[in-house]
Every structure is written in C-alpha cells, then in structure tokens.
Structure 1
Amino acid sequence: MRLKTALLSLLVAWSSVAVLSAAVSMPVEPSTGLNKKAEGPAKEALEAFKDGRHAKAIELAKPLAEQGNGDALYLMGFAHESGQGAEASKEKALEYYKKAAATGQKDATYRMSFILLASEDEKERTQGREALENAAKDDPAVAGRILGEAWLRGRLSKEPDYDKVVFWWSRAADAGDPPSLMLLARLYEGQFGFPDKKDLKKANDTYRKAAGLGDAGAMVALGSRLLNGAEAQRNEKEGREWIKKALEAKEYSGYLALGDFEENVKKDPKAALETYRKGDDAGQVDCTLRTAQAYLEGKGTEKDEDRGLKLLEKAATAGSAPAHLRLAVTRLSKEKPTPDDIGIGYGHLLSAAAGGLSEAQNELALFYLSQKLGGVADPVAAVAWLTRAAQGGFAPAQNNLATMYERGAGGVQQNMANAGQLYALAANQGHGPATYALARLFATGTGIKQDLPKAWALATLAAERKQEEGAKLAKELDDKFTPEQKAEGKKALEDIKSDKPAAPKADAKGGDAPKPKPAAGKP
C-alpha cells in the first residue's frame, strides 16, 4: 500500500476548496432515461411517473408491459428497482429490464447491466459485461463509458485493468461522448490511480478535445490546468482564452479557476478577490467561499469578519458543506462557547457531515463523544459517523475508530483485527499516531502475529512522522535485537517505504484480519 506523508486538517479542508469542480465526476450509475421526452404508447405512463404519480404510472404501464411494450417494461423495471410505486425487488427489476432490453430499449440494457455489474456473483457480472459489449456495437458512447468504469472499479477482474479502461473510454470518446473524454483526461492525470501511467500532456490534449466539442466544463478544466497546473504545462494566453469561452457559455466555475490563478500564480490577492466577487455575483458557491475567506483573513482587502461570515452563511444556505464546516469551526472553537454557539455550531457540523465531508464526519463523531450536546455522549452516533469517514479514506477517522476497536470503547466490541486493519489504512496515508499504534501491535503481538523487525520498522517510521513514542519503542527494540533482527528490520522499513503491502494479519487462531465493517447504528 502506498505511504503518503500529507495529513488533512479541519481548516485546511475548508480553505482548499477543490479547483475545477466543473470536472466530470465518476459516474455512479447510468441515467434513468426518464427525463427524456416521452413518446409512443407508454407516454402517459412515463409522464405520470416523472410527475411523481407512481401508482397511476404503474396502472397505465402494466397492461402495456404485458403486451411487450419496451418503454412500459422499462418503467416497470425501474419502479421495482427504486421501490417507487411497486415493491422494491432486484429480481423483479432485472426480469422487466431483461424483457425491455430484448425489445431494444437501451436504457433498460444500461440499468440491467449496472445491477449485474454490482453483483457479487461473477456469472451475473459477466452477463452485464456481455450485454454492454453487445450494446456498444450500436451505442459505444454510453455502453463504453460504463464498461470503462467497470474495469476501473475491478468489477470484471481481480484488479483494475488500465488498458481495458483506456480501450472502452477511448471508444466512447471517439463516438463523441464528452464525459468519456473528461474521464480519460482524469485517468491520464492520475486521479484514478496508476501513477506510473501519469501523462499530463496527454491529459491536457484530451481535455482540449472535449473542450473543442463545446463542453463548458472541459473548457474550465483545460483553462485551469493551463493557468494553475504544473509549470511545464502552463500557457496563460491559451488558458485565459478557454476560461473566457467557458464564461461566455455561462460556466461560472471559470471565475474560480481564474481567481486562483491570480491568487496563487500571479500572487495578486486584489485581482483574485475581484475575480472571486464576479463569481460570487454569478452564484458560483466556491467563489463565494473564496470571497468569504478573503474578508475573514484580510487578503486583498481590509479584514471584515462580519462580511466574511455573512458570505459563509450565503454559501451554506446554497448547500455548501465546506461553508457549514467553517461556520461550525467558528462557533465551536470559541474559548467559552455559549449554549447558542454549541447549538448553532452543531447544526452546521451536522449539515457539513451530511454533505459528505469526511473531516466534518470525524469532527461530528468527536463532538458526540465530548458530551457537549446536552451533557450526554452518544457513542452509537459517534461510531456511525467515524465509520462513514473511515470508509471515505479519512486517516484521522480511521485512527480514531481503530482506537475504539482496540479499547472496546464507546459501546464498540473490542476487535483487534479491525483495529489493526484501520491503523494500517491510516498509517499508509502517513498518519503518525496510527503508524505508532500499528508498531505497538506488532511489538506485543496483540491480536496479530508478533513481528519485532516490522514493529521496529514501523516505530522508526512513526518517529520520522513526529511521534516521540515511536523513537522510544524503536530504541528499546534495537537494544535487544540480534544482528539478524536488525537486518530484518531495515529490510522491512525499505519494503514499507517502497510501497509494498504491510497490512497486519490476525494471529494463528484468528486467520487473516477482516476488513472493518460499518458499526451498528445510524447517524
């Protein structure tokens, strides 16, 4: 596993809102197809479903489905998949989708394949792949995009297959699918792993193709990289031209990219603030956050905390999770917060966590354990939020949850295997305390097989990560080591630093340590 040294913090997360939010996200699932203009015999049923009249839609669609109408069969499948107007049933959804797909209903093919590819049954995943490969003969854009993601996520092989991803996304891109071009560009940038395949020039060339097709998000992505990217790839003249085209297309995230260029590359905070203000006026929420930050910190203007907080409130009202997080920090970090501060801060923290920010989820969990809310701790909610943040890859949350599993604290049953796995996940991201904790487990053989050379290696690494206890443990072990153990320890440290897996195993009685599972209880 890869070892990284960067650590995230609560305030850094807010102040470094990702540039280029316009870049296309990894598709989670294919479109429902229900937003298309309805035509044919099933038109009334489809329109009723879109309007939320699900029971009426099913009433209208069922007889048509029995007659073999593809759109009606598709609607029945989606109703069963979503549980809207019909019993939620994967089996019934697949039954209807397969019948609809047999009539040539493309949306049914895609949703059927999505369900099959998510299956733990290899035969079903193979069926999904074959259906998409067949669909790609006539529609390589959508089918190729989904197939590329399936290979990327390792749904069709034990490990993600870079070559297959490139093959299918390239086919989709060649068919004129801008989202696939954007995904390819992100792949070449290394956003989906495969660091050895990283090629920034190829990434920019691919963004350029998507931008040339008129995709405004691609225009911003390309413009930002030409302005804010690696120095060797920068081209201010071309970058500004693409941002201008994006703004003309009403893609206002262009102001964010341009403002960041003024602030971070040109080192002109006044020009940056002027640009961010334009984005704020256009309703671009990240620009609102940047403008708020400028007033709160006095960057490019006089410091004005009241104005900054009002802008944060504006962004939070627009649904910005980072704005909620910053407002929560403002309230809860006071030396003597009032009950109102605690209540309002908690509300903002909850909104930020619900918005998917792992940092906020971790902080909310700690808040639940702090007894600050009504003087009562809520360990069930704390564990649930820590689990969500840990599953999101947030190292501090992984470490915190591991500590609870190790101690059997907060209502969590002690589970050393889960603790070891979580410590390893956090350590692999450069988290110092987790690295030391993992060294402890290997040194004592608590829940995992004792391995003193590996314990020394991890303790030494923990010391490099500013953990004094790590240096102490490494010295204690080194003083007792034989020459052979010292050599083993140095080899283990080299292996860890060269990205070789170092996940702990359970002891002989327990077998391999299991992957951590979500704790009971919901937030």
Structure 2
Amino acid sequence: MVMFRRPARVSLAFRPARIGSASLAGFAVWMALAAPGASQTSAPRSLAPNADFSKICQPATKPHLTRDWSTWDRSQPVNNPDEMYEAAIAYAEGRSDISRSPLTARKLLEDLADRPWAGRGRAHFRLGKLFLDPAAGPVDAERAASHFKTASSMLNMDASVLLAQLHVQGRIAAANVRDAEQLLRASATAGNIDGMIELARLQRSGKIGSVPQGATDDLIKLALQTLYADLGKGKCGALFEIGTILSEDALVPGGLTEAVRWFEAAARQGDAKADLALAEIYLQGRVEAAPEQFLSHLTRAAEAGQPRAMTLLGERLLLGDRAPKDVPKAIAWLERAGSNADPEAYKLLARHYRGEFGAAADLPKAADVLVKASALPGHTNGILVSLARLYAAGTTGKPDVNAALSLYRQAAARGDVGSLTEMAKLLLAYPAMGRSEEALRHLKEAASLGDADAMGVLAELYACSTAVAPDPVQAEVWLTRAAEAGHVRSISAIANQAGDDPAVAQRNAKALLRAAERGDRESMILLSSAYRSGLGVTMDEAASARWREIALAPGEGRTRAMVLLARRMLDGKSGGRDEAGARTLLEAAAQESDPNAQLELGRLLVAQRGRSEDVMKGVQLLRESASAGNAAAMLALAELPNAQLQVTGKTGLEWRQAAAAAGNVRAAITLAASAKDEPEAARWLTRIASLPVCTTRDMVELAQAYHKVPGPDHKENARLWMKRALADTQGSGRDPSALFLIGRAMVEEVGGPASKNEAVRYIQISAEAGRVDAMRYLGRGYVSGEIGESNMQTAVQWLSRALQKGDAAVAADLSRVAAMPTEAAGRAVETLRASAESGFAPAIREYGRSLQLGFGVPADPRTGAAWLLKAAEAGDTIAMKELSRAFASGYGVELSASASTEWLQRAARAGDPEAMYGLSLAMTLGFGTDVNASAAQDWLKTAEGAARK
C-alpha cells in the first residue's frame, strides 16, 4: 500500500459547494490534511477524484466457491461457514458469474444464523435485509427488525443502522424515534459511516427537535473524512460512498457535479454500483451526458451482474431511447435480468409481447413471461393482475375465465383491493355463470375498503343492470360516495347533473384534489381543467399547468390521462375543439397499444374522408383496439363501408355481431331490430336481456325493436322499456336528444297508443332546445298531418328554423310547400330566397327551382336557371343535375347537349350515382360528347359500386 504524508495544501478535492456554512472546497483541504500519512520520500499527492487510484486500490477479491451452493440442503455438511456466507451474499446480490437468487440466499443465511460460528451477527444482518428486499419476497419489517436486534446485540453496527431506519420510518410496531437516535449515535461513535449519515438525516428531519446546523454538518464532514481515510488505505469502495453522500442534495446542497466525478473515479476502478449510479443520474436528466456515455456506464453495470442495470438497458434498447433500438438484444438483457429475480424485467417483456413497443402482439409469450414473473419471490400484485387480464381477454382467442379469477383471488388475498373489483367485473361480464351475487359481495367488500372504482360500478349496477334490481336511491348513494372518493366517471356524472351549481363544483374539486394527490392521472386532468376555468376552485393557470404536466409525465396511468385530455379537446371541454392537439396525444398513447387510445384515434382518422392514408390507418387502429376486446371499436368498424373493411377480414355485419357478443348493447339492439326473421331477432333480444341498458336512446330503441318483432311478450316489453325511458328522461335533466327519441316513438305508438299532443310536446321541447332533427320532424309532420292536423304555417315555421341552422335536407321540403296552393307558399319561397342570398347552396338550388317552375311565385325560367348555376358552381350535385336537364331541354337556358353532358359529368365526378348512370348513357349514345363505349362501361361499374355503398 502506498502511504501519503500530509500535504501542506490540497486543491480540487471537491468543487465549491456548501455544507452548512463551510464550502466543499475548504472542507476538502481540511479532510485531506486529516488523512493518515507517514514520512515518505515520494512527493505529496492529492486524493482528488481525478487521481490515479489504480496505484493504491486494493483489488476487490471475488470469493472462490468450491461447490454449487444453490443445490445445498441441510442434510449436507458445512465445513466452511465463511464460504457459505460469501455464497449467500453472491446469491442475494447477484454477480457476473452467479444469477441472483434471494431464495437460495435466505436458505443459506437461515442456517448460518442458527449455526454457532463467529459470523452469526452478519448472517442475522443479511437475513434481516432480505426481509426488506421486495425482490426476495413479501416484505416483513417485523421479522427484519427481529434479525437486526439480534445482530445489533452482537455489535453489528450495520444492523443497528437499519433497525434505526425502521424506527424512524414507523414501519415496526415498537417504532420510537429516540431509540433510533440512540442506535445511530452508537453506530456513529463506533465509526460506522452509514450511522453518521443516517444520524445527520434524522437531525435534519426535525423529528428529534432542533439540532444546530453545525452539529449536522460536522457529522457529514466526519463521514466524508472517514471515507477519505479508508481511501488512503486503499479501500476504493469509499469512492462510491463519497459520491453517494455528495449526490444527496439534502446532505450536501449543490454536490451532485462533484459526486459525478467521484462516481466516475469509482467506475474506473470497476465498481459496477458506480456505473449504475451514473447511468441513473444521466437517465433522470440530473446531469447532462452524451447518449454513448450513458450507454457505456449502463452496459458495464449490466455486464457486471447488476440486475437493475440489465432491466434498464433492456428497456432503453426496446424503446430506442439513448440507445439504438435493438429488440433481440433488449429481450436477451431482460430475460437475463428476469433470471436474476427481477420481476420488472418480465413486466417489460410482457408489455413487448403485448405489442406495446411496436412489435406484433404475441399474447401467449406475454402470458409465459408473466407466469415466470409470478414464480419469483418478489413478484407484485400488479404481475398477478396483468396475467389475470391476459387470461380474461384470451391469450389464444378464447378467454380463460377460471384462470383469471384464480389470479385475481391471489392478488386480493395479498391485499390488492382493486382485484376484488376486477374479479367482480369479470363475473358480471359472464352472466351465464350465475355468479352475480358473488360479484356484488366482492364489490361491496372492495368499496368498504375504500376502492373508488368499486363504488362507481355499484352506482352503475343499481342504476341500470340486470345483475341487481334497479334502485335509484342506492345508485345515488354509491354515485356520491364514488365521487367523494375521487372516481372520475362519477365526478363527471354528478357535474353533468348539477350543471353550474357552485357547491357541487367545490365538492367535486376537493374530491379531484384528493384523488390527484393519491396519483390518479385522470383526476389530475380534470383538476387541471378546474383550475383553468375556476370551476369549484380559484382560477390558477400555474396550478392548472402543473397538474397537467404531472398527469402527462412518463409512468403508469399516463395513457389514460392522455386519452381523457384528448377526448376533452375533441368535445371542446378544454377550451375549444383542438383536433391537432388531440391527435398528437392519441398517437403517443396509441404507441403504447392502449385500446381506448386506438379507438379514439381510429375514429378521428376514419373521419378524414379526403385522406385515404389516414382512413386506412384509422381502420387498422380500430381493428387493433377491437382485437384487444374493445366492443366500442368493434361497433365503430361495423359502421364503416364494407369496402374499407376488406383489410379486416370481416364485414360490417360481422363486426356488429362481434360487438354485441362482447357486450355492446347498442349493437345487439340494432341486430334485433334489423333481424331477417323472428328466431334471429329472439337470439339478440335474449342477449340484450343479460346486458345493462342504461341510456334513454338504448331504452327507446329496444322498445322499438320489441314493437317491431313478433313475439308473445314483446308488446308488453316494448311498453315497459318505454316506461323506463320516460322515467329516465325525467331524471336526466331532460336531455333534448332523449326527448326527441321518446316523442317520435310515441307518435309511432311504440309501447301502445299514446297521446299525440304529449308526443308532440316532447319533440317541441327538443326542437326549442336546438335539435335540428326535431325541427325537421315537426316541419314534415305538420305538412303530412302525421302528428296531428296538417298546418302549413306551423310547418314552414319549423322548416325555416331548421334551414337557418344549416339543415340542407329541409330546403327541398320548403320548395314542395311552395308548390302547394296554400297561404304558406309565399312564406316558404321567401325563406328560401333569404337563405339563398346568404350563400347556402341547397337554398340557392331550391329557390332557383321555385323560380324555374313557378312554385309560390310567377315562373321565371331564366332567373331560376341563373340561381341553379350559382348552386352548381358552389358544388351542389343536385343543382348540377337540374342544370343538365335544363340545358338538355333548353328550359331557361340555350339548348346545349354538350353543356348538359358537361354538368352531368361534373356531378358524376362529385360522386353522384344517378349522374354516373346518366353520363354512361350519354357516352353510349354520343349525347353532347363522343361515343366512348369503354368509358361508358367504366362509369356504369362505378355507379353500381357507389349505389351499393
């Protein structure tokens, strides 16, 4: 060992920073002067972090194991307890040549703790540490404390420090901060560095009263001085320890930059823990570093046997984040980390095999790695739940409900309350199992333990479920409790019911704050919105931005927050519709294979009708979401044209059937209503009987399905569902769309004869609230007399209001009224003229036709044709066809076959099937164009295809 004399000056041992009132630079000089030394002939040297420590470091010895201790059992003799202890440490921590095995380590240490040998105290200390290590199995602080007490009584100061920590953290029944202080003072007095640092932390915490700042600073100085002395003796493990102290801002404010230099010095001496520490500092962005520098440290730590480094490296390679994306290498590292008892590695592998990182999903492999993770002593409830969800969805296309339920029970037995709720939901999804009472018990137990999701499900069950008898009082009680517990859907439901009630808004904001502080990301989004709008809280843009930033930060639950925020952007609830912002959020969430993100993004993209690439991408996303069991995605696919569905391998009807089978009640109602025969209708009505029918729209449409389909009890069922719909409308804030549905069904006598006046009243309330389809229905009903006596003046009134709202369909209705010999004809034409002059193309066209044909005004073919020309030039295909007929006949314009065919062609190119047929005929006959049989045939095929759509 090289000895150092005390140097007169030492520079650059640390960078200037503050430890209390003393700078690190000044302290470094003081610490170096205090370092042990002897007379030497060599020149004095500084032990700064940039020194060449290879000349003084004593190489760390790797104990040679003469046997495979993983196969040892108590029947075999132990000739060397020290080797057995070293083997236990190797299995507890893992190293490059030995995979970590906490179970093997515990087995060896339990024997050593009972064996009469000099190292019993160390064995008890290490055994206690295992009981605190999640990777070694369920954490048991009391058993750990028992072993630490035994080791401490044998003067093991490391055990005293960990026992003190359990006291400070309150993790044991006899926790006492004064006992902790005594243990730490004893260990610090004995020269234990961890004891000094933990005592400094305790003093800084204020838990033992006020302690002078200087006293705490002196403890930190003493710890660093002791480490520096160890370093002078060639114990280079001190390099890592010095870096660890300096990196903690609470101990050494501003010491991180200098800590990195000490970690780098330790890494140069082969300390894998230092490599891992540096990699994590760089990954967290606490210190900037080039990607290759980060990757170098992380790789060295992984190759040295650090399981966490293996997992981190695998994750970076999977993501292509600060490392070139390399999936095979990532899988290899994660599998190695898993074999080193790291369940997090298996969780990442499962996410990869579920397709979350861009690869094709392989659900059987995802299940396999989660099974491996569940066999590890340190597996978490989250692993059991993830595996249960896979089995519930079906790893090979068929759900394994019993396997899923078994795993949920295991997680619930280990204290995971959410598993009770998930188990209940699974039982409710399979009513044929006849276990709804069991599901209800699980939900109530979970709710009694504070699970907000269970409360929300109970509210929904009592509101509209076949599992329990409807009970509006119970539904309201559970809805209120769920909202108070921070359940997002319940809070939103109460907010919708309450409108602008400030008291309700304040209660909701408090509930959101509680849930957000517990880490619920969706609550954070709603809380951010509340702070932005001032709804229930004082408006605070900074708080709004802060909660939104936390909600969208990387981590579990982020995708749900993204989807919720995107939905609010699309419906304008976050400050106006922001389609671009929503798309960005949904694309990020969809990359993690979130089925709801895929659903929302798919819907958004298929609506981009002019962009075929977007539409096809949207179809693919909907298909992926549907493949994950999302019934809403199946229904969204069912509503697309069959031409777009070819890539999915199913027709729209097949997707609707899949949605109904997956529990989508709207899909099942549509199938029942459109069934070709009574047996098929009965099949879907039977399916509906096991599903919750919760919205007024579904209730009315189900009543209509029963009304339409023959059956012995169907008329009565139609009456009952109409009755429920009416009751639901009374309690839902009189939603205009619901009122319109009910009124129209009553006009059709769904559920039995009803008062026409009452039916019209419902529809009028809806129309007055702005429902355009209700205005149109009233206008047409008063024209036809379907809703009472024919009344043209009232008809024109409602049709005019619909036209002013931009309803293109009613322009033709007003034109027909104008053609009738009634007093309302002139008003109908005047309405069309006013709308035409404002530039509304359908009104321009119908006003032109009225002038052409003399509807409600003297005929003026030329002026009428001029208005038709304006409408056609504005893109109205009906006007194009009318203009084509005018040129063909010379009515109001000069006779021109070529102009007639030209306008017909423009309408055909705009997608009008009737115009396509006409253009095909014109090309066949040579009317206004050259004869072109081939083009005529092409247009005919196009027309037939368009008609089929």
| TM-score normalized by the length of structure 2 | 0.36
Once the 2 structures are TM-superposed, how far is the Cα of residue 373 of structure 1 from its aligned partner?
4.8
Alignment of 1:4-23 (within 5 A): none
C-alpha distance in 1, partners of 2:490/2:411? 31
Q: Letter of the aligned partner of 1:152 in structure 2?
A: L
Q: Letter of the aligned partner of 1:141 in structure 2?
A: P
C-alpha distance in 1, partners of 2:203/2:273? 20
Any conservation in 1 of the 2:421–2:446 contact (CA below 8 Å)?
yes
Q: What is the SS of the residue equivalent to 1:85?
A: coil
Q: Report sequence identity in percent.
A: 20
For 2:86, the equivalent position in structure 1 comes to: none
Alignment pair present for 1:202 and 2:365: yes
For 2:49, the equivalent position in structure 1 comes to: none
Moved more, 138-147 or 429-438: 429-438
Q: Letter of the aligned partner of 1:149 in structure 2?
A: E
Q: What is the SS of the residue equivalent to 2:397?
A: helix
Once the 2 structures are TM-superposed, how far is the Cα of residue 80 of structure 1 from its aligned partner?
4.7
User: Equivalent of 1:94, from 260, 285, 299?
Assistant: 260
For 1:312, the equivalent position in structure 2 comes to: 482
Once the 2 structures are TM-superposed, how far is the Cα of residue 461 of structure 1 from its aligned partner?
10
Alignment of 1:109-188 (within 5 A): 109-118=275-284, 124-157=290-323, 160-188=325-353
Q: Letter of the aligned partner of 2:295 in structure 1?
A: R
C-alpha distance in 2, partners of 1:137/1:86? 31
C-alpha distance in 2, partners of 1:131/1:421? 39
C-alpha distance in 1, partners of 2:874/2:517? 45
Deviations 1:461-497 (A, max 9, x none): 99x999x99x99xx98999xx99xx99xxxxxxxxxx
Q: Letter of the aligned partner of 2:362 in structure 1?
A: D
Alignment pair present for 1:272 and 2:448: no
For 1:43, the equivalent position in structure 2 comes to: 194
Deviations 1:239-294 (A, max 9, x none): 44444544555555543443232122346432212223344556666555545654
Q: Letter of the aligned partner of 1:174 in structure 2?
A: S
Once the 2 structures are TM-superposed, how far is the Cα of residue 169 of structure 1 from its aligned partner?
0.3
Any conservation in 1 of the 2:459–2:476 contact (CA below 8 Å)?
no
C-alpha distance in 2, partners of 1:49/1:293? 53
Moved more, 420-429 or 175-184: 420-429
Alignment pair present for 1:348 and 2:511: yes
C-alpha distance in 2, partners of 1:401/1:254? 32
Residues 199 and 99 (structure 1), Cα distance of their counterparts in 2 relative to 1, 3 Å cut: same
C-alpha distance in 1, partners of 2:305/2:318? 20
Once the 2 structures are TM-superposed, how far is the Cα of residue 123 of structure 1 from its aligned partner?
6.1
Q: Letter of the aligned partner of 1:188 in structure 2?
A: Y
* Gapped regions of structure 1 (runs ≥ 5): 1-23, 25-33, 317-322, 411-418, 440-452, 488-523
CA-atom RMSD in angstroms: 5.1
RCO (CA 8 Å, sep 6+): is it higher in 1 or 2? 1
Moved more, 275-284 or 211-220: 275-284
Q: What is the SS of the residue equivalent to 2:303?
A: coil
Alignment pair present for 1:425 and 2:588: no
Any conservation in 1 of the 2:316–2:323 contact (CA below 8 Å)?
no
Any conservation in 1 of the 2:315–2:348 contact (CA below 8 Å)?
no
Residues 115 and 478 (structure 1), Cα distance of their counterparts in 2 relative to 1, 3 Å cut: farther
Any conservation in 2 of the 1:435–1:458 contact (CA below 8 Å)?
yes
Deviations 1:216-247 (A, max 9, x none): 53344334432454563533454444445445
C-alpha distance in 1, partners of 2:479/2:327? 45
Q: What is the SS of the residue equivalent to 1:334?
A: helix
Alignment of 1:427-466 (within 5 A): 428=587, 430=600
Any conservation in 2 of the 1:169–1:181 contact (CA below 8 Å)?
yes
| TM-score normalized by the length of structure 1 | 0.61
Q: Letter of the aligned partner of 2:317 in structure 1?
A: W
C-alpha distance in 2, partners of 1:313/1:395? 20
Deviations 1:392-435 (A, max 9, x none): 5625645877999xxxx99xxxxxxxx89636415756459977
For 1:332, the equivalent position in structure 2 comes to: 495
Any conservation in 2 of the 1:42–1:72 contact (CA below 8 Å)?
no
Look at both structures and tell me which one has the larger radius of gyration over its CA atoms.
Answer: 2
* Gapped regions of structure 2 (runs ≥ 5): 1-133, 135-158, 166-186, 206-215, 588-596, 619-635, 640-804, 809-839, 841-872, 878-904, 911-949
Once the 2 structures are TM-superposed, how far is the Cα of residue 86 of structure 1 from its aligned partner?
1.8
Q: Letter of the aligned partner of 2:226 in structure 1?
A: L
C-alpha distance in 2, partners of 1:228/1:276? 21
User: Equivalent of 1:64, from 223, 226, 232?
Assistant: 226
Any conservation in 2 of the 1:118–1:125 contact (CA below 8 Å)?
no
Once the 2 structures are TM-superposed, how far is the Cα of residue 151 of structure 1 from its aligned partner?
1.8
Alignment of 1:408-423 (within 5 A): 422=581
Once the 2 structures are TM-superposed, how far is the Cα of residue 111 of structure 1 from its aligned partner?
2.3
Any conservation in 1 of the 2:456–2:479 contact (CA below 8 Å)?
no
Deviations 1:361-415 (A, max 9, x none): 44344434545457x75555555555666675625645877999xxxx99xxxxx
How many residues end up aligned between the 2 structures?
A: 410
For 1:413, the equivalent position in structure 2 comes to: none
Q: Letter of the aligned partner of 1:142 in structure 2?
A: R
Residues 141 and 346 (structure 1), Cα distance of their counterparts in 2 relative to 1, 3 Å cut: same
Residues 299 and 353 (structure 1), Cα distance of their counterparts in 2 relative to 1, 3 Å cut: farther
Once the 2 structures are TM-superposed, how far is the Cα of residue 149 of structure 1 from its aligned partner?
1.7
Once the 2 structures are TM-superposed, how far is the Cα of residue 171 of structure 1 from its aligned partner?
1.2
Alignment pair present for 1:211 and 2:374: yes
Once the 2 structures are TM-superposed, how far is the Cα of residue 341 of structure 1 from its aligned partner?
1.8
Any conservation in 2 of the 1:228–1:261 contact (CA below 8 Å)?
no
C-alpha distance in 2, partners of 1:202/1:266? 30
For 1:500, the equivalent position in structure 2 comes to: none
Any conservation in 1 of the 2:314–2:329 contact (CA below 8 Å)?
yes
For 2:858, the equivalent position in structure 1 comes to: none
Deviations 1:32-66 (A, max 9, x none): xx997799832303433664747466344321332
Any conservation in 2 of the 1:224–1:258 contact (CA below 8 Å)?
no
